[in-house]
Amino acid sequence: MTQKLPFVTLEQAQAIIADVPTPFHLYDEKGIRENARRVNAAFAWNKGFKEYFAVKATPNPYILKILQEEGCGVDCSSYTELLMSEACGFTGSDIMFSSNDTPVQDMQKAYELGAYINLDDLTHVEFLQQVAGIPKTICCRYNPGGVFDLGNGIMDNPGDAKYGMSEDQMAQAYTKLMALGAEEFGIHAFLASNTVTDEYYPKLAGILFRLAVRLHERTGAKIKFINLSGGVGIAYRPEQRSNDIAKIGEGVRKQYEEILVPAGLGDVALFTEMGRYMLAPYGGLVTTVLHEKHIYKEYIGVDACAANLMRPAMYGAYHHITVLGKESKPCDHKYDITGGLCENNDKFAIDRMLPKIDKGDVLFIHDTGAHGFSMGYNYNGKLRSAEVLLKEDGSHQLIRRAETPEDYFATFDFTPFFKKS
């Protein structure tokens, strides 16, 4: 089996723990920057290319600023994500706003910031006009229906997804929007999640490029950009292959030159909107072993729980685990790695073969840089953990403190005990 190594050593982790107690999510600045540069290089052939990082994946302003410095924009789906992006200095066309069942406040804020607004439904044309106004450039989200496959198996089922419009609805939306003053249009679609294949983006690009040609011919609309959204996954398991972003970019380029260029659409900008691919491998959950339990199985209890990382409990998702300092030891012990929630699914691993684990050992749970901290919650009164940045020079920076009981109680107004003085 291919070994999956953490980006931090035991010694580095111990130095951080002396300053920030576990559990905490740790991010690798060097890895984040290098990966952003690979993505930009893969699509450099398109002069309008921009990666719009999905804020929902890792909503931390320090992370957003790093990506901003690497030329990325942001994809927002809510009012608070828009506020965070605004605070980081993102405005105008540096922001994509993609939401569904959108509240008035959210839509108005996106319009105020001059973001590219991505409409999820035909009825949202009238909604946007009523609550904010129609911008000169606007995007619509496409749902082709049916199932999406790559010839080697079904990847996802867009027909069951709540997102997007049919092609006829896209044409109607463009026509209505042009009548209301819109001048340039975008196309957006998300057809599959966490794909570990270099074929996904090129296949999706072909679908959207042909759609762009048809919509342009049908409505006369000027297509300004096409957003391939996210869906490019990562290798969570050591034996999995990793996506080759350079090959993916080249595959998209071929589709672009075969479909858009002959149709006179060779000036269309391409956007991506990746969260998982941009951040997941460059984050890890660092946690300390508190207890051992020996009953019908062998359990290792840690100070993190599903409130810190809910993907294993929610999806049965695999996250690799390294016992720091024991990377070269044989994985000859079978454990369930558990947290302290009053739920039996609060397990980071089940029947996982690992080196012998002792109380006080430090575990590194891999690939939590996206949809890790951001999906946390407060069940059982658990407090959300800190976030720490491992900087390029090897130092560390606290980029979000851990919650305190005062934070947990801050929204109560029940008795004098809970009220702030």
pLDDT higher than 80, residue 216: yes
- What is the predicted pLDDT for the residue at 154? 41
Output the domain CATH number for residue 330. 2.40.37.10
Q: Region 255-275: what's the mean pLDDT?
A: 97
Q: Which of 280, 305, 328 is the last residue of a domain?
A: 280
Q: Which of 280, 303, 334 is the last residue of a domain?
A: 280
- Position 195 in a domain: yes
Q: How confident is the model at residue 40 (pLDDT cuts 50, 70, 90)?
A: very high
Active site residue 72: no
**Whether 155 and 230 share a structural domain:** yes
Q: How confident is the model at residue 68 (pLDDT cuts 50, 70, 90)?
A: very high
**Whether 322 and 368 share a structural domain:** yes
Does residue 103 sit in helix, strand or coil? coil
Residues contacting residue 372 through CB under 8 Å, at least 6 positions apart: 25, 58, 280, 283, 285, 308, 309, 311
Q: How confident is the model at residue 145 (pLDDT cuts 50, 70, 90)?
A: confident
Q: Region 178-183: what's the mean pLDDT?
A: 98
Is the dihedral angle over the CA atoms 149, 155, 158, 160 positive or is it negative?
Answer: positive
- Exposed, middle or buried: residue 214 (CB in 10 Å: 0-12, 13-18, 19+)? middle
Q: How confident is the model at residue 411 (pLDDT cuts 50, 70, 90)?
A: confident
Per the structure, the complete domain to which residue 107 belongs is given by 29-280
**Whether 140 and 238 share a structural domain:** yes
Rounded to 10°, the helix 79-87/61-69 angle is 60
Q: Which of 254, 280, 306 is the last residue of a domain?
A: 280
Note the pTM of the prediction, 2 decimals. Answer: 0.94
pLDDT higher than 70, residue 157: no
Q: How confident is the model at residue 46 (pLDDT cuts 50, 70, 90)?
A: very high
Residue 314: C-alpha distances to residues 3, 77, 375, 416 (Å): 26, 22, 10, 37
The two three-digit tokens of residue 134, written as one number: 């129609």
- Position 311 in a domain: yes
Task: Kindly give the pairing relationship between strand 298-302 and strand 333-338.
Answer: parallel
52's enclosing H/E stretch is: strand 50-54
Task: Kindly state the DSSP code that residue 261 receives in the 8-state scheme.
Answer: T
Pair 12, 247: CB distance under 8 Å:
no
Does residue 42 sit in helix, strand or coil? helix
**Whether 37 and 122 share a structural domain:** yes
Q: Which residues pair with 301 in a beta bridge?
A: 291, 338
Split into its structural domains, the chain has a count of 2
- Position 142 in a domain: yes
CA separation for the pair 144, 154 (Å, rounded): 14
Residue 83: C-alpha distances to residues 89, 91, 106, 143, 295 (Å): 10, 10, 10, 28, 49
Of the candidates 212, 213, 270, 205, which has an alpha carbon nearest to the alpha carbon of residue 45?
Answer: 270
pLDDT higher than 50, residue 155: no
C-alpha atoms less than 13 angstroms from C-alpha of 67 in its C-beta half-sphere: 34
- What is the predicted pLDDT for the residue at 190? 84
**Whether 273 and 389 share a structural domain:** no
- What is the predicted pLDDT for the residue at 24? 98
**Whether 272 and 330 share a structural domain:** no
**Whether 43 and 113 share a structural domain:** yes
One-letter amino acid for residue 148 of the chain: F
**Whether 53 and 172 share a structural domain:** yes
* Set 72, 88, 139, 342: catalytic member: 342
Q: Region 108-115: what's the mean pLDDT?
A: 98
| Residues recorded for the chain | 421
Q: How confident is the model at residue 297 (pLDDT cuts 50, 70, 90)?
A: very high
Radius of gyration of the chain (CA): 23
**Whether 242 and 333 share a structural domain:** no
The two three-digit tokens of residue 227, written as one number: 């957003």
Output the domain CATH number for residue 89. 3.20.20.10
Of the two residues 195 and 210, the one the predictor is more confident about is: 210
Q: Region 286-313: what's the mean pLDDT?
A: 96
Pair 117, 110: CB distance under 8 Å:
yes
**Whether 229 and 319 share a structural domain:** no
Terminal CA-to-CA distance of the chain, rounded, Å? 58
Residues contacting residue 406 through CB under 8 Å, at least 6 positions apart: none
**Whether 311 and 276 share a structural domain:** no
CA separation for the pair 369, 28 (Å, rounded): 9
What pLDDT digit, counting tens, does each position of 330-383 carry?
Answer: 999 999 999 999 999 999 999 999 999 999 999 999 999 999 999 999 999 999
pLDDT higher than 90, residue 224: yes
Chain-wide mean pLDDT for the chain?
Answer: 94
Q: Region 75-100: what's the mean pLDDT?
A: 96
**Whether 164 and 311 share a structural domain:** no
- Position 128 in a domain: yes
For 118, phi and psi rounded to 5 degrees? -105, 105
